[in-house]
């Protein structure tokens, strides 16, 4: 259900994105793959498709490439979970692609078992009221990946390595956003964390970001599921560190995601309203999560989760900035 295409040709501008993040444990490399459709509101502008690959190397040799395709090379039907762009095909539990860009040869042939349920980050009450101009679904938040990715003849075989796959669509971008994900915690199979904070409201430099997150381990599920939860969830970014805090009932979750210096790639985005954005992405982040329980007089630590370099995170903004200079958080800072 979560991967069905929501393409809306009636809108003057619209975008739809499928992406997958994966950790190749044997080499320490991480990958970010993306298929996109974009229709901008510019006069006489038709929609186009794109294929993206970013490869992150702990030795510092990162690569980020994308190739655009005209409308006639994009094949899909709204309501179905199949998207073909060029020689690529994305479907519910498999994805293959083969293309060249800027002298590089890129391909992947991947499979996974679909998750039993979808993760919807935007609370149902917000979606029901139509307050959101875009929607976010994670149909496969924690899956074992099989198959291969090949970059310039170097082949990476996946045999149950951790991966996650998401689906975004809508008629407008937020003013900016933070995103973080991890399902590769040390000694904690099945645990995962997903966070998205968007800059939607404010007056000038005073902003009121909205943060949505979800966490799961073998004992607990914690998520922003209703409008009041949004008031108890907040996030910030400063100097290569993403932070998030969420309190709900007797539980408090504290998350810290840290990117190594020089480990980002910067990729250009164009919004449905023809605005230029830059996405700064790092898939070699350190993750530190603390789960606390409320007790009389304060909080008691219930569990700590760590990942040395298996977390993925990004910030996206129309500003001309760098990972060291960018700030996000506005009025709400953890």
User: Domains in the chain: how many in total?
Assistant: 2
In a domain, 130, yes or no: no
In a domain, 216, yes or no: yes
- Above 60 in pLDDT, residue 300? yes
In a domain, 45, yes or no: yes
Say whether both 163 and 213 belong to one domain: no
Say whether both 190 and 305 belong to one domain: yes
Say whether both 198 and 58 belong to one domain: no
In a domain, 153, yes or no: yes
How far is CA 20 from each of CA 35, 72, 142, 166, 330, rounded to the nearest angstrom?
9, 24, 11, 6, 29
User: H/E element holding 230?
Assistant: helix 227-230
Say whether both 192 and 315 belong to one domain: yes
User: 313: which strand partners?
Assistant: 180, 282
Distance CA 114, CA 228 (A): 31
User: H/E element holding 138?
Assistant: strand 134-151
In a domain, 125, yes or no: no
Say whether both 195 and 91 belong to one domain: no
Give pTM, 2 decimals: 0.94
Say whether both 7 and 106 belong to one domain: yes
Q: Render pLDDT for 77-101 as a digit per residue (tens, 0 to 9).
A: 999 999 999 999 999 999 999 999 9
Mean pLDDT of 234-248: 95
Evaluate whether 157 touches 150 at the Cβ level (below 8 Å): no
Say whether both 159 and 179 belong to one domain: no
Say whether both 145 and 190 belong to one domain: no
Q: Residue 228 in 3-state DSSP? A: helix
Distance CA 275, CA 85 (A): 23
Evaluate whether 195 touches 211 at the Cβ level (below 8 Å): yes
Say whether both 31 and 16 belong to one domain: yes
Say whether both 186 and 154 belong to one domain: no
Domain of 188, CATH number, reads: 2.40.370
Mean residue pLDDT across the chain = 93
The alpha carbons of the chain give a radius of gyration, in whole angstroms, of 19
Distance CA 27, CA 155 (A): 11
- Above 60 in pLDDT, residue 332? no
- Above 60 in pLDDT, residue 330? no
Checking 219-226 for CB contacts under 8 A at 24+ apart, the result is 220/251, 220/291, 222/246, 222/248, 222/251, 222/253, 222/291, 223/119, 224/121, 224/123, 225/123, 225/124, 226/123, 226/124, 226/125
Say whether both 66 and 95 belong to one domain: yes
Mean pLDDT of 317-324: 96
Q: Render pLDDT for 40-91 as a digit per residue (tens, 0 to 9).
A: 987 666 679 999 999 999 998 899 999 999 999 999 999 999 999 999 999 9
Distance CA 7, CA 14 (A): 7
Say whether both 18 and 103 belong to one domain: yes
Label residue 113 left, alpha or beta by phi (over 0 means left) and psi (-120 to 50 means alpha).
beta
In a domain, 52, yes or no: yes
Residue 313 domain boundaries = 173-334
């Amino acid at each position: 259900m979560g991967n069905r295409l929501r393409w809306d040709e009636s809108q003057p501008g619209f975008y739809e994105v499928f992406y997958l993040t994966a950790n190749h444990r044997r080499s320490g490399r991480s990958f970010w793959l993306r298929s996109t459709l974009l229709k901008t509101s510019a006069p006489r502008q038709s929609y186009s498709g794109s294929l993206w690959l970013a490869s992150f190397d702990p030795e510092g040799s990162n690569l980020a490439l994308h190739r655009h395709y005209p409308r006639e090379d994009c094949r899909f039907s709204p309501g179905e979970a199949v998207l073909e762009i060029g020689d690529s095909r994305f479907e519910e539990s498999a994805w293959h692609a083969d293309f060249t860009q800027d002298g590089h040869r890129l391909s992947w042939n991947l499979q996974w078992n679909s998750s039993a349920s979808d993760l919807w980050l935007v609370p149902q009450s917000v979606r029901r009221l139509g307050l959101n101009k875009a929607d976010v679904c994670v149909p496969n938040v924690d899956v074992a990946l099989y198959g291969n990715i090949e970059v310039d003849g170097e082949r990476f075989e996946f045999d149950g390595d951790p991966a996650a796959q998401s689906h975004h669509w809508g008629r407008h971008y937020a003013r900016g956003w933070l995103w973080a994900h991890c399902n590769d915690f040390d000694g904690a199979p099945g645990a995962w964390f997903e966070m998205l904070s968007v800059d939607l409201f404010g007056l000038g430099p005073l902003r009121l970001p909205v943060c949505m997150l979800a966490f799961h381990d073998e004992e607990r599920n914690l998520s922003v599921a209703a409008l009041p939860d949004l008031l108890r969830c907040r996030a910030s970014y400063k100097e290569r560190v993403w932070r998030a805090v969420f309190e709900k009932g007797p539980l408090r979750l504290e998350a810290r995601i840290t990117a190594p210096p020089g480990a980002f790639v910067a990729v250009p985005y164009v919004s449905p309203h023809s605005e230029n954005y830059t996405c700064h992405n790092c898939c070699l982040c350190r993750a530190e999560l603390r789960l606390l329980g409320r007790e009389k007089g304060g909080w008691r630590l219930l569990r700590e989760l760590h990942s040395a370099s298996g977390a993925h995170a990004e910030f996206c903004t129309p500003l001309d900035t760098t990972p060291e200079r960018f700030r996000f958080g506005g009025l709400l800072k953890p």
